[in-house]
Structure formats: structure tokens, C-alpha cells
Amino acid sequence: MKTMLQEMTQYWRLYLLTLVLGVGGSFQYGIHVSIMASPAEHIKNFMNQTWLSRYEVPIGEATNKLIWSFIVSVFSLGCWAGAVHSGSLPVKYGRKKALLINNVVEVVAAVIMILSRTAQSFEMILIGRFLYGYNVGLGLSTHLMYLGESSPKKLRGFLTLTCSIFIGFGKLVGQVVGIKELMGTEDMWPYLLAVSGLPAILQFLGLLCFPESPRYIYIDKGDEEGCKKALQWLWQEEDLKLELEDMKKEREVAQGERAKTVLDVLRSRCVRWQLLALVIPCAGVQFCGINALYFYAFDIFRESGVEEDKMHYLSMGIGATELIAVTICAFVIDRAGRKKLMGYGYLMMGVVMSVLIVMLTIKDQYPWVPYINIALIFLIICVYGLGPSGVSMCLPADLFLQAWRPSAFVVSGTVNWLSLFFIGMLFPYIVEGLGQFCFLIFVAYCIFSAAFMLYFIPETKGKTMVEITEDFNKLNFKNRGTEIEKGDFVLATKL
């Protein structure tokens, strides 16, 4: 057996590709999630000054709040638009070219952000935020496609989960550069909003050195020799017989098949359980209550006596905790398996949030309860990073064959980003109406997702795409008899 050191030495080019892909959409997403909190007051002041210079009256409070809410939420709409295009651009141009185009979008958005103050236009911030969202929506899906199709099955879980590591790292970097001692100042906020253009430039230059996804070259383009050269360059292996045979089986199954549309994915019986196994956890990433937790965290910190000017540093601790947890998950996912990490992760989140609800209810009765609540917040963040946050990233690459995969990423992206948009729009009203009991909604979803994953979904670790599809066919066609298990594999890839 190869040692870990030998594997790292052999696959160093593949790990370098992982790093190049990570500094794109994943890292940028993490930055965009965390960076808007720091310059919020500066941007609102800029909006007021711009409005005053145009109309010679201060901006109304309601109008200011509406514009700011749209600046924040338009990012999710941009992500959705990018996710929708992730089903067509990577198929038409290939995974690599789609990412190169995507990086140009990010750089354009960064330039718009820098020029917004000079042009006295908060509308440019809106446009920049939308383009940032588009970059993230397309970049995350294509990143996972590219990496999943370039990795050997023994490393597929670990490498695709690095996407979550880079998201966590991006959140932490965004929190750090946004502090007032660095770029979170009145003078620097346009450059703070544009800082994600730098990793886009690095990814663009880095991708020029790497080949296209081997599976795309062989299965979509039919170039076996080109695929072999790409694999040999990435893996530094001469004996690729088993991998090429696996791709050959998948290509034979999909021979003559057009790339599937989103409507095909939604309607076809042959991927019904794969679709459920994708949609429920992807929605769970937003509906598991993690955003509610971040919302409540600052109130809990204040009740514990944390000074206001120290609050930002404590939030950096939360970001660091999530990053460490996701990193640990990356090293155990191929041993523990996707099913257990996600299923038991949701279950643990539901249990701990139930305890948190009780503690929030009695927080005023005992002086030590707020400190318990801080510990519970960090515990939930740990569980979230170890399971649901990371594993959900692997699902479209794991569950769907080549013809279905781009549209599966469109579905997962649509579910994820629209869920984020609606949570962002509705959550303040839910909190206002339910208070700490808003967590009950998320507890119910966590328990439901855990039961679904643990009792219905087969494990995918260490299996080829064909083997995973055969396992799901037993669920998709369970009422059609044993002949399905033998002969319906081809049927399972056609409408």
C-alpha cells in the first residue's frame, strides 16, 4: 500500500489543480459572505451622500434600508443566474474555459466596485454584487465538476470537499481584512469590496497550465488519447486501465445521448432518488439554521459581557472553528462515508439546537447560561463543518453520470441560492414573530434530513459512478422486479 507521503508526491499536480480551483469561486464566495458586514456603515453613508448630491435632500430611512437590503440580497440572485448557466457553459466550452470566462466576470465586477465611489453611483455596487454572485454560482458548480471529474475515486471525496475548506478560509480572510485596522475604513471600503478580484486573476493565470477535465475529454468529446494524456499528466500514472474502463462503460451507456436538461432531471424516474438525495441536503445547508445561528450569535455575545469593539474578533473565532471542522471532515470523509457524516451531522445539529432553544428561554434566570450558549454555538458550528457543510458539495459529482451532471449542478445551485435568498428576506420577520423559537423550524428540518439520509440513501464512498448508479437503480425501479437490476442500467440513463 502506498503511504500518504507517496500519494501526495505522486498526485502533487492534482493537488496543485485543487489549490488553483479553490482560489476561484469557493474562496471568493467565502470572502463575499463575510466581507459585507465591515463596510456596511460606510456604504450606507455613501448612499446618503450620493442621494443628497443628486436630489439635494437626505435619503429616507425606509429607502436607505430598501437599497441596502437589495445590495445584500442581489448577490443570491446573481448566484442563481450563475448556477443556471453552469448547466450549459461547461458543456459547450468545457470546464476549464467556462472558469476562464468566469474569472473575467469577477475582474470586471471588482473594477466596477473600485470605480463606484468615483462615479458617485451606488447602482454600480448593485451591479458589482450581482456579477460577484454570478461568478460564485457558476464558479462553485464548475469547480466541483472539474475537480470531481479529474480525481481518482479514492480521493474524490477528499478533493471535492476542499471546496468547503476554501469557503471557510475565504470567510476567515474576509473577516480579517475587513477589520478597521486593515481595510474596514472610510477610505478603503471600495478596495475592500474589490479584493476578490485578486484570486480571480491568480486562478485565470493558473488554469492556463492545466488540461481540461479528463472525463469531459473522453465521455463528452470522445477523445480517448487526449483523456489518457490528461490523466497521466495529472496523476503521473502509466497504468490507467481501470479508470479508462470505467469511463468507457459510462460513455457506452451514454452513447448517442444528448446532455440532459434540468427538465429531464426533474421528470425522469431513473434519477428520482438521486434528485431527492441532492435536493433535501442542499436545501438543508440553508434550512439547518446556520444563518439563524450567526444572527443570534452577536446577541448572545453581548449578553455574556463581550465588548462591542471585540465582537468582530469573536466572529473570526467562529470562522476559524468552521474552517478547522471542514478541514477535519476532508480527511475523514473517504473513511467515514458521506451518508454517516451528513446524516448524523444533521441529527446532532437538531439535538444541540433543541438544547439551545431551552437555554435561550432561561437565559435571564441564571448568569452562567449565556456562557453555555456560546459553547453551544461553537459546538453547532463544529458539527455543521464536520458534516452538512462539506459533504453537500460532493453530492452532484457523486450521484450523477456525465450526461446528467451539469443539470444536476443547476438544480443544486438553484435550490441552494434561492433558499439563501428567501431565508435572507424572510428570516428577520420570522425572528420578530417567534424569537428564539424560530430554531424549532430548523430543528424539524434537521431531524427530517437526518432520517432521510440514514434510512433511505445508499453510501457512495469508494464506488465508481456506474456502481453508484446501480445502487440507486434498486430504489428508482424497486417495484419492477429483479430484471431491472440486471438489464435496466442502460434504461436508467435514458428517458
The pLDDT tens digits of the residues spanning 291-331 come to: 667 766 776 777 666 776 677 777 778 888 888 888 888 77
pLDDT in tens, 185-222: 888 999 999 998 999 999 999 999 999 999 889 888 88
Residues 14 and 153 occupy one common structural domain: yes
Residue 6 above 80 pLDDT? no
Is 91 inside any structural domain?
A: yes
Residues 201 and 278 occupy one common structural domain: no
Residue indicated by cell numbers 456525465: 402
* Mean pLDDT, all residues of the chain: 81
Is 88 inside any structural domain?
A: yes
Q: How many CA atoms lie within 13 A of 316 on its CB side?
A: 13
Residues 281 and 164 occupy one common structural domain: no
Is 284 inside any structural domain?
A: yes
Is 81 inside any structural domain?
A: yes
478-490 average pLDDT score: 47
Residues 205 and 291 occupy one common structural domain: no
User: Residue 255 has what pLDDT?
Assistant: 62
Is 38 inside any structural domain?
A: yes
For 392, the domain range is 260-495
107-121 average pLDDT score: 94
* pTM of the predicted protein model: 0.80
Domain closes at, from 172, 193, 210: 210
Residues 142 and 31 occupy one common structural domain: yes
Greater confidence (232 vs 281) lies with: 232
Residues 71 and 192 occupy one common structural domain: yes
Lowest mean pLDDT among 69-83, 287-301, 415-429, 472-486: 472-486
Residues 328 and 205 occupy one common structural domain: no
Distance CA 100, CA 103 (A): 5
The CATH number for 65's domain is: 1.20.1250.20
Contacts of 305 (CB under 8 A, 6+ apart): none
Report the number of distinct structural domains present in the chain. Answer: 2
Residues 269 and 199 occupy one common structural domain: no
Cα→Cα distances 108→61, 105, 161, 196, Å = 31, 5, 28, 11
337-366 burial: b if 16+ Cβ within 10 Å, else e: bbbbbbbbbbbbbbbbbeebbebbeebeee
Residues 107 and 172 occupy one common structural domain: yes
Is 276 inside any structural domain?
A: yes
Three-state DSSP state, 141: helix
User: What does DSSP assign to residue 333?
Assistant: H
Residue 2 above 70 pLDDT? no
- SS3 percent helix, strand, coil of the chain, rounded to 5, is 80, 0, 20
Residues 206 and 291 occupy one common structural domain: no
Residue 131 above 80 pLDDT? yes
Residues 64 and 199 occupy one common structural domain: yes
Phi, psi of 431 (to 5 degrees): -65, -40
Residues 189 and 295 occupy one common structural domain: no
pLDDT in tens, 216-249: 898 888 888 899 899 889 888 777 777 888 788 7
Is 231 inside any structural domain?
A: no
Is 220 inside any structural domain?
A: no
Domain closes at, from 168, 195, 210: 210
What DSSP assignment string belongs to 179-199? STTTT-STTTHHHHHTTTHHH
Domain closes at, from 179, 210, 241: 210
Contact 84/406 with Cβ under 8 angstroms? no
261-289 average pLDDT score: 81
pLDDT in tens, 364-390: 788 888 888 888 888 988 888 887 876
